[in-house]
Structure 1
């Protein structure tokens, strides 16, 4: 499971991520405002599964399907889901943005991706946009969360240090330029419609399928 956050163990196969605990409420507030009241949501790179449980529990009208390429992550997601017992939370899928053969079949009304774009090669972001362009209906939402570079906004020192630590761990990782991410989305029929400032110098970028 790709993460830059310390992962703590819990009973069984569930893992606890301090980052997920910190950011789930601010992310949930944005999702509540922009997700449809009903329909199917696909979560990409769901990690420990704590977001999936929190969001499915808070949004009972949505069928929430988490996914992650990591078997360790999927085991954690299943453990959290089993403990929560939510009727609208589906089993985790083994989706890998670098392998189209693993991609789910749609339609989904929304796709959510938290803290993947900077902890993966650029090809994973391109894959995310292709997948969203295929699975979403016109008007469907792609919501992403994480730190970004922006030409008109000075890079916060904490984000600059984080970017260096990412690249030290893997030269293919690092903070992405917001406009380059938006351009990759546009190539797949998705338009950047909203930028939401989040705590700790993060952003939520909301895209809608327009064609």
Structure 2
């Protein structure tokens, strides 16, 4: 499971992510404002599963399916889901943005990807956009991505600069991505960039729509 967070195991078998606890509320408020009232949502790189529970609980009209390539992450997701017992939260599925053979073919109304783009090789971002281009309902299907980015018109916060160094030290293929490069990659998949939303701790949310 790829993360820069300090995870701890819970007695129930889930992994506890301090970052997920901190950012779930602000992210949920954005999702409430932009998600459809009904439909199916695919969460990419869901990590510990705490986001999945928070978002499924906060958006009861949506049928939520979390995913992650890591078996450890999926086990944690299943543990948190077992505690929550939410009728609209599905079992986690194994999806790897670097391996198209396991990608779903059914359409969804929305996709959500939180804190993956900077903790993965650029090819994973390319895969994310291809998958969104194939599976989002057209027109108007929503892709929401969250995390820290480099932006030409915004000074890089010292904390983000330090984070970028630590990412690249851990894996040379990781690091903060240029926001405009992410937008350009989305465009190649038939997605239109619609909104940038400033988030706490020098993060941003980028919203795209299938056209």
What range describes the TM-score normalised by the shorter chain of this pair?
over 0.9
What is the alpha-carbon distance in structure 1 between the residues aligned to residue 41 and residue 56 of structure 2? 9
What is the alpha-carbon distance in structure 1 between the residues aligned to residue 19 and residue 27 of structure 2? 12
1:133 lines up with 2:96 in the alignment: no
Alignment of 1:17-28 (within 5 A): 17-28=17-28
1:153 lines up with 2:158 in the alignment: no
Normalised by the size of structure 1, how large is the TM-score?
0.99
What is the alpha-carbon distance in structure 1 between the residues aligned to residue 63 and residue 39 of structure 2? 6
What is the alpha-carbon distance in structure 2 between the residues aligned to residue 109 and residue 180 of structure 1? 24
What is the alpha-carbon distance in structure 2 between the residues aligned to residue 70 and residue 148 of structure 1? 24
Gaps of 5+ in 2: none
What is the alpha-carbon distance in structure 2 between the residues aligned to residue 95 and residue 131 of structure 1? 11
Normalised by the size of structure 2, how large is the TM-score?
0.99
> 1:35: Cα distance to partner?
0.2
Equivalent in the alignment of 1:75: 75
Equivalent in the alignment of 1:89: 89
> 1:102: Cα distance to partner?
1.4
> 1:13: Cα distance to partner?
2.2
What is the alpha-carbon distance in structure 2 between the residues aligned to residue 130 and residue 6 of structure 1? 31
> 1:104: Cα distance to partner?
1.8
1:203 lines up with 2:204 in the alignment: yes
SS in 2 for 1:87: coil
> 1:12: Cα distance to partner?
3.0
Gaps of 5+ in 1: none
What is the alpha-carbon distance in structure 2 between the residues aligned to residue 169 and residue 198 of structure 1? 25
SS in 2 for 1:65: strand
Where do 4+ consecutive residues of structure 1 move more than 2 Å? none
Size of the alignment, in residue pairs? Answer: 210
What is the alpha-carbon distance in structure 1 between the residues aligned to residue 35 and residue 188 of structure 2? 23
What is the alpha-carbon distance in structure 1 between the residues aligned to residue 127 and residue 42 of structure 2? 14
> 1:105: Cα distance to partner?
2.5
Q: RMSD over aligned Cα, in angstroms?
A: 0.5
SS in 2 for 1:151: coil
1:91-142 alpha-carbon deviations (Å, 9 max, x no partner): 1000000000111232100000000000000000000000000000121000
What is the alpha-carbon distance in structure 2 between the residues aligned to residue 74 and residue 163 of structure 1? 27
Equivalent in the alignment of 2:171: 170
